Amino acid sequence: MEDLANDDDLTTLLPTREEIERDYPPLWTWLQLKQFIRAGDLAPLKRHPGLMKRYAAWKIAVSAKYGSLSTYVTDVRLDWGDVSTIPQDEYFGVGTERHLWKVLANDWPYAVPFDVEHHIIWTRVPMVNEDLVPEALRQDVERSGIWGFSGGANMDPALQAFVGPSAAHRDAVRIVGARTNAFVQQYWREEDWETAWFINPPRLQSVKGLAHAHVFARRKEKELQ
């Protein structure tokens, strides 16, 4: 197999938009994507198998060159360097200082419809305040992660009829995710975008130790005047 680690710039090995649309078709509809998220069933949300194979080889090369995927993300993609001294006395939200967060397109997007953009919010401060979760629900929320919707993305009748977690579980997720949801609503203006977003539980995070949320944003169609 080609030694990808010898490539001077591993970013040149990232898939192009043209390649994704040609070789890696979507696996789900927009509604199905939202159903997975609303159910707290995040494990099925993955890349196309062909793209996943490329990603796995690329990740091995990245780890060989930089020591770990996390180091590559913090040093190369985010240009943050050491994040061991991140503030721990605040949680991410609309008021978080600009140097403490970045929004980047996912270089290896999940197999979502082509009209849905996949971004990641990266932040140097924590996103999830576990103290807001009732003790009885902590294991459930830790297993399912945190999620939310904006721009009317959750108003689809088929989604409303979808049976997901209990009302108490959804309420806990809504409270814990309120600060992130407010940021999403402001960054992706609701008159222009509908979004579905989630924060993976620790067991599903590929970049551990650095708070981040996945955002799937779909531009609304403008009505003709």
Looking at residue 111, what DSSP letter applies?
S
Residue in the structure block whose two tokens are 């605040």? 90
Q: Are 91 and 125 in contact (CB under 8 A)?
A: yes
Task: Give phi and psi for 26, each to the nearest 5.
Answer: -60, 150
Query: Looking at residue 9, what is its pLDDT?
Result: 73
Q: What is the pTM (predicted TM-score) of this model? A: 0.90
Query: Looking at residue 40, what is its pLDDT?
Result: 83
Q: Are 193 and 151 in contact (CB under 8 A)?
A: yes
Sign of the dihedral through C-alpha 198, 200, 204, 206? positive
Extended strands (E) in the chain: 101-105, 116-123, 146-150, 193-199, 212-219
Query: Looking at residue 165, what is its pLDDT?
Result: 75
Render each residue's pLDDT in the chain as its tens digit; 225 residues: 455 555 567 888 899 999 999 999 999 999 999 999 988 888 889 999 999 999 999 999 999 999 999 999 999 999 998 776 666 678 999 999 999 999 999 999 999 999 999 999 999 998 988 888 888 888 888 888 899 999 987 777 777 665 567 888 888 889 999 999 999 999 999 999 999 999 987 766 777 778 899 999 999 987 544
CA-to-CA distance for 160 and 156, rounded, in angstroms? 6
Domain range list for the chain: 4-219
Q: Are 194 and 184 in contact (CB under 8 A)?
A: no
